[in-house]
Amino acid sequence: MEVFKGLKRFYWPERKLLFASIFCLICTTALGLVYPNLLRYLIDDIIALKKFDQVPMLALLVVAVISVKAVFQFLHGFSGGRLGNKVAYNMREAMYEKLQYLSFQYYDQARTGDLMSRLTADLEAIRIFIGFGFAQILNVFLMIGFGTIMMFSINWKLSLLTMITMPFLAFAAIRFEGKIHPAFRSVRASMSSMTTAVQENITGVRTVKSFAREPYEVEKFTIRNEDYRMNNVATSQIWSKYFPVMELIANLSAVILLGAGGYMVIKGTLTVGELVAFFSLVWYIIGPMWGIGFHINNYTQSKASGEKILEILHQYIHVKDVEHPVVLSPDVVQGRVRFNQVTFAYPDAQPALHDLTLDARPGKVIGFLGGTGSGKSTIISLLMRAYNVKDGSVTLDGTDIRDIHLQSLRNQIATVFQETFLFSSTIRGNISYGRKDVTMEEIIRVAKLVKAHDFIMEMPLGYDTVVGERGMGLSGGQKQRIAIARALIKDPKILILDDATSAVDMETEQEIQAGFKEVMKGRTTFIIAHRISSLKHADEIIVLDKGHVVQRGTHDELIRQEGPYLDTYRIQYADHPDVAESSSSQERRAVQ
Ligand SMILES: Nc1ncnc2c1ncn2[C@@H]1O[C@H](COP(=O)(O)OP(=O)(O)OP(=O)(O)O)[C@@H](O)[C@H]1O
């Protein structure tokens, strides 16, 4: 029940619907009890006494009871359906919102397929249970309770005899519950592992095809599919083992009733009408007892689903606002960024950054160079507070970013990531993503700045062209340019380019950078690049190696000293002897 207590905030506001659905079901159940009594009356008071003129009245009464019962049944379905959908809607909203605010650390580990199955299959299980399952379980108790009272009112001895098997039935049902719950959990786990495989396969279809790994992918899927099948088989084995046992026990009741009841009728201690009424009452109790397996199954499934949903809803958010955060106002932000002796390690890992200190004044350009895994992206992750710095501090205009309202901090920053992600929407929609109120003129202006306007206009629908999922249909360089336009339109105080121009040719890169100079006047820019050409205009270049700063200075300073920067420079300009020559003479001058 803990799970349903945890989910209370979703269904409690809809309690009117919940109670209406339960009330209507109780009425339906109570009206169901009228039948056995009408039967008894028909046999004992009409047929036995040959008062056949009362039959039409009785028939009309039956029609009336059926009609009222049907109305209650409809109202139960209606309110239950509304309740389930309302609860599922509220939960879907809450889950989606939570997913928006979960930190980068969570997504480092999360599996998309698993999250998708929680948002779909698990929510569906809860919808059905809260909408109908819960009322039905309550109904089982009511039917058993009402039926038992009525049976005892007819003949208590026969009632006791017939009820003899019920504890065994209850025992079997409880054992069944104990086995089926873990089985369902495994089914759900294997289901989500299967969906993850499908999702990853579709996302990475280009990689799969280029490596001709289709057979391997099929095999990988087969293993998970097999696991899912085996779990389902194991679950149905539990069903098939317990169900016949439960059915046998239930039917024993009917056999005892017919034997003992028939004997009582012969002896004259029970009327035929009472026996017939008793017989339908027994089935009135056995019916829900039989269904108990289904309800238990429904309950355990939704309990397992509820656990998975709560796991997300209760997921700890690593990066969140302090109690009274500083809310930045864009007109006052200068954009001065400082890292003060920052050392940072990802969870359960060696430090990715050691003792970094930097001071980026507003309007300055800071470049980062270093081999893969040297910590460049980590620096910008810390700047946008994707992770909390524990050792040292990062400040913006003198305020520790941990004290700044997270959204207002990120509103000042625009990042172009290493991997370009575009939404499956129009080019116009993709460029204007970071801002609500943006005119077409502004979109075109930034597109021209990043040299994207011409290729966009060559497309059949221009800015209204819909790009495929993840920007399919565009070249790497085109995607990057759209991503840069998306960052620029945000008019940020701080611009971060994480290897953002790696896919465009050098000439276009220079043109884009010339465009930047104009837009980024008075703003702070961080550029991560592998190409010297992308960095050489930076006010300070920081060279990193395994998380340590190994060199820093301007381009001119760095090419005058031996070190990784000059090594990279030599490699990249090997094809340009004139440049290389001039650099070596500069170097020589520096040494002299
Ligand atoms: N999310 C993460 N969780 C755990 N470790 C990480 C994570 N991201 C990066 N690392 C590790 O931190 C170190 C620095 O990585 P980082 O991404 O900052 O390097 P980088 O210089 O940007 O590399 P590249 O040029 O290849 O992008 C690496 O050892 C990397 O494996």
Q: Could you give the percent of the chain with pLDDT greater than 90? A: 27
Residue nearest to atom 24 of ligand 1 (CA): 372
pLDDT at 338 over 90: yes
Mean pLDDT of 451-477: 81
Q: How far apart are CA 420 and CA 383, in angstroms?
A: 19
Give me the CATH number covering residue 448: 3.40.50.300
**CB-ligand 1 contact for 110 (6 Å cutoff):** no
User: Residue 348 has what pLDDT?
Assistant: 83
Residue nearest to atom 4 of ligand 1 (CA): 346
The token pair at 146 is 């009402």
Vertex 182, ends 180 and 188: CA angle to 5°? 100
CB 206 within 8 A of CB 183: no
Long-range CB contacts (within 8 A, 24+) of 201-206? 203/112, 203/470
pLDDT bucket at 250, cuts 50 / 70 / 90: confident
pLDDT at 582 over 50: no
**Is residue 516 in a domain?**
yes
Q: How far apart are CA 49 and CA 43, in angstroms?
A: 9
Out of 95-104, 175-184, 368-377, which region has the weakest mean confidence (pLDDT)? 175-184
The token pair at 143 is 């039917």
Please give the single-letter amino acid code of residue 571: I
pLDDT at 362 over 60: yes
Of 313, 337, 372, which residue constitutes the final position of a domain? 313
Q: Are residues 193 and 84 in the same domain?
A: yes
Residue nearest to atom 18 of ligand 1 (CA): 375
Sheet containing strand 337-345, strands side by side: 351-360, 337-345, 391-396, 399-400
pLDDT at 469 over 50: yes
Number of helices (H) and strands (E) in the chain: give both, helices first.
25, 10
Which residues have CB under 8 Å from 68's CB, separation 6+? Answer: 27, 31
Q: How far apart are CA 172 and CA 436, in angstroms?
A: 60
Mean pLDDT of 407-430: 88
User: Residue 131 has what pLDDT?
Assistant: 86
**CB-ligand 1 contact for 417 (6 Å cutoff):** no
Q: How far apart are CA 513 and CA 496, in angstroms?
A: 13
**CB-ligand 1 contact for 369 (6 Å cutoff):** no
Q: Are residues 566 and 535 in the same domain?
A: no
Please give the single-letter amino acid code of residue 567: D
Mean pLDDT of 525-542: 88
What count of residues does the chain have?
A: 592
Report which of 538, 462, 455, 555 is spatially closest to residue 504, judged by C-alpha positions: 455
pLDDT at 590 over 50: no
C-alpha 86: how far from its chain's center? 18
Q: Are residues 117 and 196 in the same domain?
A: yes
The larger pLDDT score, comparing residue 215 to residue 502, is at 215
Distance 220 CA to ligand 1 centre (A): 28
**Is residue 336 in a domain?**
no
Q: Are residues 140 and 239 in the same domain?
A: yes
Q: Are residues 425 and 572 in the same domain?
A: no
Residue in the structure block whose two tokens are 């946008």: 384
pLDDT bucket at 472, cuts 50 / 70 / 90: low
Q: Are residues 308 and 378 in the same domain?
A: no
Distance 418 CA to ligand 1 centre (A): 12
Report which of 131, 152, 400 is spatially closest to residue 274, judged by C-alpha positions: 152
**Is residue 282 in a domain?**
yes
Q: Are residues 500 and 381 in the same domain?
A: yes
**Is residue 318 in a domain?**
no
pLDDT at 237 over 90: yes
The larger pLDDT score, comparing residue 86 to residue 580, is at 86
pLDDT bucket at 592, cuts 50 / 70 / 90: very low
Relative to the CA of 418, which ligand 1 atom is closest? 27
The larger pLDDT score, comparing residue 22 to residue 509, is at 22
Residue nearest to atom 26 of ligand 1 (CA): 372
Residue nearest to atom 29 of ligand 1 (CA): 373
Q: How far apart are CA 4 and CA 20, in angstroms?
A: 19
User: Residue 470 has what pLDDT?
Assistant: 60
Q: Are residues 399 and 275 in the same domain?
A: no
Backbone angles phi, psi at 463, to 5 degrees: -70, -15
pLDDT at 158 over 60: yes
Distance 375 CA to ligand 1 centre (A): 6
How confident is the model over 537-563, as pLDDT tens digits? 889 999 999 889 999 999 988 888 888
Q: Look up the domain containing 572 and give its range.
A: 559-592
What DSSP character marks residue 326? B
**Is residue 338 in a domain?**
no
CA distances from 1 to 17, 119, 128, 296 (A): 20, 21, 17, 13
Residue nearest to atom 15 of ligand 1 (CA): 373
Mean pLDDT of 16-25: 92
Q: Are residues 285 and 392 in the same domain?
A: no
The token pair at 388 is 């909390």
User: Residue 357 has what pLDDT?
Assistant: 92
Of 313, 348, 380, which residue constitutes the final position of a domain? 313
**CB-ligand 1 contact for 349 (6 Å cutoff):** yes
User: Residue 6 has what pLDDT?
Assistant: 86
**CB-ligand 1 contact for 293 (6 Å cutoff):** no
Relative to the CA of 378, which ligand 1 atom is closest? 18
The token pair at 550 is 């190994």
User: Residue 580 has what pLDDT?
Assistant: 45
User: Residue 471 has what pLDDT?
Assistant: 58
Relative to the CA of 379, which ligand 1 atom is closest? 18
Residue nearest to atom 30 of ligand 1 (CA): 373
User: Residue 221 has what pLDDT?
Assistant: 92
CB 328 within 8 A of CB 412: yes
**Is residue 327 in a domain?**
no
Q: How far apart are CA 198 and CA 204, in angstroms?
A: 10
Residue nearest to atom 3 of ligand 1 (CA): 346
pLDDT bucket at 67, cuts 50 / 70 / 90: very high
Q: How far apart are CA 389 and CA 337, in angstroms?
A: 14
Which residues have CB under 8 Å from 567's CB, separation 6+? Answer: none
User: Residue 583 has what pLDDT?
Assistant: 44
Where do runs of H (alpha helix) occur along 314-343? none
Report which of 337, 42, 305, 279 is spatially closest to residue 192, judged by C-alpha positions: 305
Of 278, 313, 348, which residue constitutes the final position of a domain? 313
**CB-ligand 1 contact for 373 (6 Å cutoff):** yes
Domain count, the chain: 3
Relative to the CA of 372, which ligand 1 atom is closest? 26
Q: Are residues 427 and 454 in the same domain?
A: yes
CB 10 within 8 A of CB 3: no
**Can you tell me the ipTM of this complex?**
0.96
Out of 247-261, 262-276, 561-575, which region has the weakest mean confidence (pLDDT)? 561-575
Residue in the structure block whose two tokens are 């993503």: 433
Residue nearest to atom 6 of ligand 1 (CA): 346
Mean pLDDT of 196-217: 87
**Is residue 258 in a domain?**
yes
Residue nearest to atom 25 of ligand 1 (CA): 372
Report which of 132, 118, 241, 130 is spatially closest to residue 178, judged by C-alpha positions: 241
3-state secondary structure (DSSP) of residue 369: strand
Distance 378 CA to ligand 1 centre (A): 6
Q: How far apart are CA 229 and CA 148, in angstroms?
A: 41
Q: What is the mean pLDDT of the chain?
A: 86
Residue in the structure block whose two tokens are 């970094």: 356
User: Residue 230 has what pLDDT?
Assistant: 95
pLDDT at 588 over 60: no
**CB-ligand 1 contact for 375 (6 Å cutoff):** yes
Q: How far apart are CA 588 and CA 592, in angstroms?
A: 6
Mean pLDDT of 365-371: 91
**Is residue 340 in a domain?**
no
Q: Are residues 537 and 567 in the same domain?
A: no
Give me the CATH number covering residue 250: 1.20.1560.10
Q: How far apart are CA 384 and CA 401, in angstroms?
A: 8
pLDDT at 589 over 50: no
Mean pLDDT of 234-248: 89
Q: Are residues 302 and 394 in the same domain?
A: no
